[in-house]
Structure 1
Amino acid sequence: AFRAQQGEVMRMACRLDPLTGFQMAGEWLKYQLTAPVDTGPMNCSSSVLFLSAKTGEGLCSIFSPSFVQWDAMTFFSESVISQMFRTMDKDEIPVNDGIDLLQLVLNFETKDPLILSCVLTNVSALFPFVTYRPEYLPQVLSKLFASVTFEVVEESKAPRTRAVKNVRRHACSSIIKMCRDYPQLVLPNFEMLYNHVKQLLSNELLLTQMEKCALMEALVLISNQFKDYERQKAFLEELMAPVAGLWLSPEMQRVLSDPEAFISYVGADNKIADPVLEDPSGLNRSRISFCVYTILGVVKRARWPAATEEAKAGGFFLGYLPSGTPMYRNPCTEQVLKLFDNLLALIRTHNNLYMPEMVARLGDSFAKALDMLEGEKNAILGLPQPLLELYDSPVYKTVLERMQGFFCTLYDNCFHILGNAGPSMQQDFYTVEGLATQLLSSAFNNLNNIPDYRLRPMLRVFVKPLVLSCPSEYYETLVCPMLGPLFTYLHMRLSQKWQVINQRSMLCEDDAADDNPESQEMLEEQLVRLLTREVMDLATVCCVSKKGVEQNTTAAVDGDDDEAMATEVTPPANAELTELGKCLMKQEEVCTAVLITAYTSLSWKDTLSCQRTTTQLCWPLLKQVLPGNLLPDAVSWFFTSVLKGLQVHGQHDGCMAALVHLAFQIYEALRPRYGELKAVMEQIPDIQLDSLEQFDSKLLNPTLQKVADKRRKDHFKRLISGCIGKPIGEQFRKEVHIRNLPSLFKKVKPSLETDVLENEDGEGFNVLFEP
Structure 2
Amino acid sequence: MGVRDTDSPLAPPAPPGPPAPQERMQNFLHTLHENVCQLVGAAAASLGRELYGAQGLARAVCDALLAAPRLPDHWLRRVLRSALRPLLLHCPPATYRDVALPLLRHAAPLMVVHLSQRWEYVTSLYESGKLEEESGSESQEVLEDMLVRHLTREHLEVLKVSLVEGTVSTEYSNVEMEEDICGGGGGSRAPDHVSELGAMVLADPVAGPAVLHTILRALTWNDSTSSLRACALAMPALRSALASGAVGAADADGALAAALHALRLHGQHDANQAALLALALQAYEALRPVFPGVSCVLAAIPDVDAADLRRLDDKLAAANTRPAKLDKSKRDLFKKITSKLIGRNVGQLFKKEVFILDLPTMHVPKDKPRNAVDAPEGAGIDNLFANAPT
Q: TM-score range by the shorter chain?
A: 0.7 to 0.9
Indicate if the aligned counterparts of 1:548 and 1:575 stay in contact, CA closer than 8 A. Answer: no
Matches within 5 A, 1:272-311: none
- Tell me the distance in 1 between the aligned counterparts of 2:322 and 2:88: 46
Taking structure 1 as reference, are residues 518 and 587 closer, same or farther at Cα in structure 2, changes over 3 Å only? same
Shift of 1:641: 0.4
- Tell me the distance in 1 between the aligned counterparts of 2:122 and 2:318: 45
Q: In the alignment, which of 527, 530, 544 is matched to residue 150 of structure 2?
A: 530
Look up the equivalent residue of 2:97 and give its one-letter code.
E
Matched, 1:769 2:376: yes
- Tell me the distance in 2 between the aligned counterparts of 1:477 and 1:702: 42
Q: In the alignment, which of 485, 510, 515 is matched to residue 106 of structure 2?
A: 485
Provide runs of 4+ in structure 1 moved above 6 Å. Answer: 703-708
Secondary structure, counterpart of 1:686 in structure 2: coil
Secondary structure, counterpart of 1:626 in structure 2: helix
- Tell me the distance in 2 between the aligned counterparts of 1:680 and 1:421: 48
Indicate the residue corresponding to 1:428 in structure 2.
Answer: 50
Indicate if the aligned counterparts of 1:570 and 1:658 stay in contact, CA closer than 8 A. Answer: no
Indicate if the aligned counterparts of 1:452 and 1:528 stay in contact, CA closer than 8 A. Answer: yes
- Tell me the distance in 2 between the aligned counterparts of 1:438 and 1:705: 50
Indicate the residue corresponding to 1:664 in structure 2.
Answer: 281
- Tell me the distance in 1 between the aligned counterparts of 2:46 and 2:321: 59
- Tell me the distance in 1 between the aligned counterparts of 2:264 and 2:191: 27
Number of corresponding residues: 350
Matched, 1:723 2:344: no
Q: In the alignment, which of 227, 236, 239 is matched to residue 620 of structure 1?
A: 236
Matched, 1:461 2:93: no
- Tell me the distance in 2 between the aligned counterparts of 1:623 and 1:610: 19
- Tell me the distance in 2 between the aligned counterparts of 1:667 and 1:736: 37
- Tell me the distance in 1 between the aligned counterparts of 2:64 and 2:166: 31
Shift of 1:417: 1.2
Look up the equivalent residue of 1:664 and give its one-letter code.
L
Secondary structure, counterpart of 2:310 in structure 1: helix
Q: In the alignment, which of 284, 298, 301 is matched to residue 681 of structure 1?
A: 298
Identity level (%): 31
Indicate if the aligned counterparts of 2:260 and 2:341 stay in contact, CA closer than 8 A. Answer: yes
- Tell me the distance in 1 between the aligned counterparts of 2:203 and 2:37: 28
Q: Which has the higher helix share?
A: 1
Q: In the alignment, which of 250, 255, 268 is matched to residue 638 of structure 1?
A: 255
Deviations, residues 57-98 of structure 1 (Å, cap 9, x unaligned)? xxxxxxxxxxxxxxxxxxxxxxxxxxxxxxxxxxxxxxxxxx
Look up the equivalent residue of 1:769 and give its one-letter code.
P
Indicate if the aligned counterparts of 1:419 and 1:466 stay in contact, CA closer than 8 A. Answer: yes
- Tell me the distance in 2 between the aligned counterparts of 1:501 and 1:726: 22
Matched, 1:734 2:355: no
- Tell me the distance in 2 between the aligned counterparts of 1:603 and 1:662: 13
Shift of 1:526: 0.8
Indicate the residue corresponding to 1:579 in structure 2.
Answer: 196
- Tell me the distance in 2 between the aligned counterparts of 1:699 and 1:540: 29
Taking structure 1 as reference, are residues 593 and 429 closer, same or farther at Cα in structure 2, changes over 3 Å only? same
- Tell me the distance in 1 between the aligned counterparts of 2:320 and 2:226: 40
Q: In the alignment, which of 36, 43, 62 is matched to residue 440 of structure 1?
A: 62
TM-score of the pair, normalised by structure 1: 0.42
Indicate if the aligned counterparts of 2:3 and 2:72 stay in contact, CA closer than 8 A. Answer: no
- Tell me the distance in 2 between the aligned counterparts of 1:484 and 1:704: 39
- Tell me the distance in 2 between the aligned counterparts of 1:420 and 1:713: 46
Matched, 1:417 2:39: yes
Q: In the alignment, which of 93, 117, 126 is matched to residue 505 of structure 1?
A: 126
TM-score of the pair, normalised by structure 2: 0.80
Matched, 1:692 2:309: yes
Look up the equivalent residue of 2:192 and give its one-letter code.
A
Indicate the residue corresponding to 1:596 in structure 2.
Answer: 213
Shift of 1:614: 0.7
Shift of 1:424: 3.0
Taking structure 1 as reference, are residues 702 and 406 closer, same or farther at Cα in structure 2, changes over 3 Å only? closer
Indicate if the aligned counterparts of 1:513 and 1:521 stay in contact, CA closer than 8 A. Answer: no
Indicate if the aligned counterparts of 1:548 and 1:576 stay in contact, CA closer than 8 A. Answer: no
Indicate if the aligned counterparts of 1:570 and 1:657 stay in contact, CA closer than 8 A. Answer: no
- Tell me the distance in 1 between the aligned counterparts of 2:29 and 2:130: 36
- Tell me the distance in 2 between the aligned counterparts of 1:421 and 1:548: 19
Taking structure 1 as reference, are residues 599 and 511 closer, same or farther at Cα in structure 2, changes over 3 Å only? closer
Secondary structure, counterpart of 1:588 in structure 2: coil
Taking structure 1 as reference, are residues 645 and 705 closer, same or farther at Cα in structure 2, changes over 3 Å only? same
Larger RCO: 1 or 2 (CA < 8 Å, sep 6+): 2
Taking structure 1 as reference, are residues 465 and 574 closer, same or farther at Cα in structure 2, changes over 3 Å only? closer
Matched, 1:475 2:107: no
Larger Rg: 1
- Tell me the distance in 2 between the aligned counterparts of 1:628 and 1:572: 25
Indicate the residue corresponding to 2:183 in structure 1.
Answer: none
Indicate the residue corresponding to 2:369 in structure 1.
Answer: none
Taking structure 1 as reference, are residues 405 and 767 closer, same or farther at Cα in structure 2, changes over 3 Å only? closer
Indicate if the aligned counterparts of 1:513 and 1:519 stay in contact, CA closer than 8 A. Answer: no
Indicate if the aligned counterparts of 1:545 and 1:576 stay in contact, CA closer than 8 A. Answer: no
Q: In the alignment, which of 67, 73, 97 is matched to residue 452 of structure 1?
A: 73
Taking structure 1 as reference, are residues 570 and 671 closer, same or farther at Cα in structure 2, changes over 3 Å only? farther
Shift of 1:538: 0.3
Deviations, residues 731-769 of structure 1 (Å, cap 9, x unaligned)? 2223333323558xx99xxxxxxxxxxxxxxxxxx9993
Indicate if the aligned counterparts of 1:548 and 1:572 stay in contact, CA closer than 8 A. Answer: no
Taking structure 1 as reference, are residues 547 and 404 closer, same or farther at Cα in structure 2, changes over 3 Å only? closer
Indicate the residue corresponding to 1:545 in structure 2.
Answer: 165
Indicate if the aligned counterparts of 2:125 and 2:131 stay in contact, CA closer than 8 A. Answer: no
**Structure 2 unmatched runs, 5+:** 170-185, 364-372, 379-390
- Tell me the distance in 2 between the aligned counterparts of 1:686 and 1:537: 38
Matches within 5 A, 1:50-89: none
Indicate the residue corresponding to 1:380 in structure 2.
Answer: 10
Shift of 1:725: 0.6
- Tell me the distance in 2 between the aligned counterparts of 1:514 and 1:479: 45
Alignment root-mean-square deviation, CA: 3.2
- Tell me the distance in 1 between the aligned counterparts of 2:298 and 2:132: 40
**Structure 1 unmatched runs, 5+:** 1-353, 355-369, 550-568, 748-765
Indicate if the aligned counterparts of 2:74 and 2:147 stay in contact, CA closer than 8 A. Answer: yes
